């Protein structure tokens, strides 16, 4: 059912920098909920392990619906001091996904490089 929530569900992410072979520390992330109206529901910065210090959403905060994660890749690459052409090929990586079971664990990892990325539903 649309908008249904649970106390057990959670949404997590982590980012791996494929160019360096290390976790992407210090990468800013914004999470928007798209249903029923777009609104920002969480913001975080990845820690030394490329993870957020806690779930982006958990419990009753996580509801059935559509979401969008925005990873601020361009600013991350700037902080690393990489010499990339402007405008950058990847500035923001946007991943839209849906939660159909608010009681489940949704893990959305990002494998990132200056010229490509990959994602999947992890565990």
Residue 89's pLDDT band (boundaries 50, 70, 90)? very high
What are residue 19's DSSP bridge partners?
A: none
C-beta of residue 68 within 8 angstroms of C-beta of residue 31:
yes
**Which CATH architecture is the domain 10-119 placed in?**
Sandwich (2.60)
Q: Does pLDDT of 4 surpass 60? A: no
- Exposed/middle/buried for residue 110 (C-beta within 10 Å: 0-12, 13-18, 19+): buried
> pTM of the predicted model, to two decimals?
0.93
Q: How far apart are CA 92 and CA 10, in angstroms?
A: 24
Interval 49-74 mean pLDDT: 97
Interval 79-87 mean pLDDT: 95
Q: Does pLDDT of 6 surpass 70? A: no
């Amino acid at each position: 059912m649309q908008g249904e929530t649970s106390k057990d569900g959670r949404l997590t992410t982590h980012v791996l920098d494929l160019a360096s072979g290390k976790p992407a520390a210090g990468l800013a992330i914004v999470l928007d909920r798209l249903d029923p109206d777009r609104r920002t529901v969480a913001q975080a910065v990845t820690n030394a392990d490329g993870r957020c210090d806690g779930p982006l959403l958990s419990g009753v905060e996580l509801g059935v619906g559509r979401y969008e994660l925005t990873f601020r890749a361009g600013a991350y690459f700037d902080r690393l001091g990489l010499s990339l052409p402007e405008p950058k090929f990847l500035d923001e990586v946007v991943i839209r996904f849906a939660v159909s079971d608010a009681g489940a664990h949704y893990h959305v990892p990002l494998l990132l490089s200056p010229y490509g990325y990959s994602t999947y539903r992890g565990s």
